[in-house]
A and B are shown apart, each in its own frame.
Chain A
């Protein structure tokens, strides 16, 4: 099934023409952003220097750190009055990354979600429970608006209270769910404990963290769904960037809206189809926050073979990151964020270790931090207060509950070369 058959099945030559036209429009749009005016003038690039899609390689990359430097609204290409929504995502340090949307952007974005869901056979007859965070995270409202656009019956259940989620699935006859794969696993176990089966379910849309084929099999068996992989990131609107079709062999990325490059993260050079590298995206239809050659940090490849469904070139399922970003319960966390939080608390040192485990299918993060030699008053209560303070500061900054362990000064490992402060003990999901 197609949402927008003409666009989705466009012939390569026609598509390239559309992409070039939209790329040029995007080059106009970025002129409203000081960062890009400087970037392009330094690189001596005028709109006229981009004659073909290949010429995009002349443009320098945009990195997440650049977005951080533009905090909060430095990357908006339209006046704030034209921005109708703001979301945030994790930044590398301290401040989050801010993304903004015009009314047009929201329309384009929900359209992409509608494409994805229609592609896997979802219609207005479906009842949809959206079990992801509805706050600043783009996954909640993103899917919500797309599902409403299709005309599905939408239940904005958000996260938490798994028993209630299960009751709603059964009572409302939910056919389609969206959540992280690890939460889906948890859901299936709680349903089992409750002695109930989720008979109405047909389709599971899972994203926000990488997951394996064996998890797909397990989830399909336990939940009685067909499971699809969903990919996106807030800087590129949010979810909806790429999605599996019923073939479930790679994700269709929407080439009319995103110009795709795969690069060697070390050299910055493009790699061939079938070769893994970092996904670099130039969004082609973004109005409020246009980006050029944005380095996603996600590792994938362009697949050589076409697809039976006749849509465009696919990217492979994601296997990891080219940087040190962690995905914890679907939330992106950079170790530099943790360091930034700890540096602001004088009672603890800047030495820390992070351990990540998966307990009952849910990620748990433990942070070991040394207490500062001079800040010890001798009182247990002061230490307990300090421990609570660190937990709170981390939660405020990462939007994540962590366990904090205070350890003796000098007890954490010191690194001479590149510090390895994160020990991820999770097995692949």
Chain B
């Protein structure tokens, strides 16, 4: 099975935990006409990582890097969830039963329903297991223009 089409490039940006950093990132992406489809912030002791799914990851990468940001690509997958009670459970159970660990995750609820973004330890395995279980994985092309 071609799992690659389901691998989505998230951009991860190192940011100090101080006022104005997110604004600086968002402004840069806006200038480049890069649209943010989903994002989250993870924070640790004095710093954080801004994670985002964008329509043009390479463009976002180059722009932010040129501004001096530390930026890296991270492989994630996106799974459709039912936007109703128990929706998250269905997806989480598939991975749990398969012994695949979720390192982190975030979700959005868009016009086409709810989507769960997952960073897992075994990407290919996760894709295969989710496919088999009948849940819907979203292709990279849905996000990246």
Binding site for B on A (CB under 8 A): 371, 373, 376-381, 383-384, 387, 405-411
Known: A373-B70, A380-B48. A411 touches B16 (CB 8 A): yes
Known: A378-B74, A387-B44. A408 touches B12 (CB 8 A): no
Residues of B with C-beta under 8 A to A407? 16, 47
Residues of A with C-beta under 8 A to B45? 384, 387
Residue of B nearest to A384 (CB): B44
Residues of B with C-beta under 8 A to A409? 68, 70
Contact between B68 and A376, CB atoms less than 8 A apart = no
Contact between B49 and A410, CB atoms less than 8 A apart = no
Smallest CB–CB gap between A389 and chain B, Å?
Answer: 13
Determine the distance from Cα of A373 to Cα of B103 in the docked complex, in whole angstroms: 23
Binding site for A on B (CB under 8 A): 10, 12, 14-16, 42, 44-49, 68-74, 103-104
Contact between B14 and A379, CB atoms less than 8 A apart = no
Residue of A nearest to B69 (CB): A408
Residues of A with C-beta under 8 A to B46? 387, 405-406
Determine the distance from Cα of A293 to Cα of B48 in the docked complex, in whole angstroms: 51
Residues of B with C-beta under 8 A to A384? 44-45
Contact between B74 and A380, CB atoms less than 8 A apart = no
Contact between B15 and A380, CB atoms less than 8 A apart = no
Residues of A with C-beta under 8 A to B68? 408-411
Interface pairs (27), CB distance under 8 Å: A371-B14, A373-B70, A376-B72, A377-B72, A378-B49, A378-B73, A379-B12, A379-B49, A379-B103, A380-B42, A380-B44, A380-B49, A381-B103, A383-B14, A383-B44, A383-B47, A383-B49, A384-B45, A387-B46, A406-B16, A406-B46, A406-B47, A408-B15, A408-B16, A408-B69, A408-B70, A409-B70
Contact between A376 and B44, CB atoms less than 8 A apart = no
Smallest CB–CB gap between B28 and chain A, Å?
Answer: 13
Determine the distance from Cα of A56 to Cα of B16 in the docked complex, in whole angstroms: 55
Smallest CB–CB gap between B76 and chain A, Å?
Answer: 10
5 extra A-B contacts, CB within 8 A, seeds A380-B48, A384-B44, A407-B47: A373-B70, A384-B45, A406-B14, A406-B16, A408-B70
